[in-house]
Amino acid sequence: MQNVVFDIANRSDIDELVRLRIAYILEDFGPISEEEKKNMEDRLPEYFERRLGKEIVGFVARAEGRLVAAVLLLIVEKPMNPSIPNGLCGDVLSVYTEEAYRGRGICSTLMKNMVDYAKKEGLSRITLSATKDGYPVYKKAGFTDRVSKYTEMILNLREQ
């Protein structure tokens, strides 16, 4: 991984985090409208200003003067229960590596850095939703398939 530097994102990286988040959305969700893209470009910088380094931690790879990969960890404090005895848990979001940098182990390194950080910060567990391409990387990082007696559900309030 010559000339790739691994780091934790800071406020000076916000524009790059926005760029990678939008690239991730386009690749994962497919085409979006110009209005949706503009909304993200307008609102994501303010989100990262408020949350970066607090509830959201960005693990990044730098090369060629820009971010080429990122993993976002959303830290949430929930009411404790037996599976999260201190209430602290994380949710992995926006795992993305630019195409030219894929297959070099960058994502694996970012995932390891994220897991090490989460352990150090005392998180009880980390969850994520894996794509088919990402699944082997997450398994290698120690994630296991989530088996639950519950059915995952969602209520999309935008459609009501």
Encoded tokens for 105: 């182990």
Q: What pLDDT score does 113 carry?
A: 98
- Report pLDDT digits (tens) over 13-69: 999 999 999 999 999 999 999 999 999 999 999 999 999 999 999 999 999 999 999
Domain boundaries in the chain?
Answer: 5-159
3-state helix, strand, coil in the chain (%, to 5): 40, 25, 35
Q: What pLDDT score does 159 carry?
A: 73
For 7, the enclosing helix (H) or strand (E) is strand 5-8
pLDDT band at residue 1 using 50, 70 and 90 as cut-offs: low
pLDDT band at residue 10 using 50, 70 and 90 as cut-offs: very high
Q: What integer best gives the mean pLDDT of the chain? A: 95
| 54-85 per-residue burial string, b: 16 or more CB within 10 A, e: under 16 | eebbbbbbbbeeebbbbbbbbbeeeeeeeebe
Asked if the model's pLDDT at residue 2 lies above 80, the reply is no
- Report pLDDT digits (tens) over 95-104: 999 999 999 9
User: How buried is 103 (Cβ within 10 angstroms: 0-12 exposed, 13-18 middle, 19+ buried)?
Assistant: exposed
Q: What pLDDT score does 158 carry?
A: 82
Instruction: List Cβ neighbours of 119 (8 Å cut-off, separation of 6 or more).
Output: none
Encoded tokens for 48: 């990262």
pTM: 0.92
Q: Give the amino acid at 151.
A: T
* Cα–Cα distance for residue pair 21/156, rounded to 1 Å: 21
- Report pLDDT digits (tens) over 98-130: 999 999 999 999 999 999 999 999 999 999 999
* Cα–Cα distance for residue pair 127/159, rounded to 1 Å: 26
Query: Any idea which architecture 5-159 has in CATH?
Result: 3-Layer(aba) Sandwich (3.40)
* Cα–Cα distance for residue pair 24/148, rounded to 1 Å: 28
Encoded tokens for 34: 């110009």
Give the position of tokens 């979001």.
93
**18 near 41, Cβ under 8 Å?**
yes
Asked if the model's pLDDT at residue 160 lies above 70, the reply is no
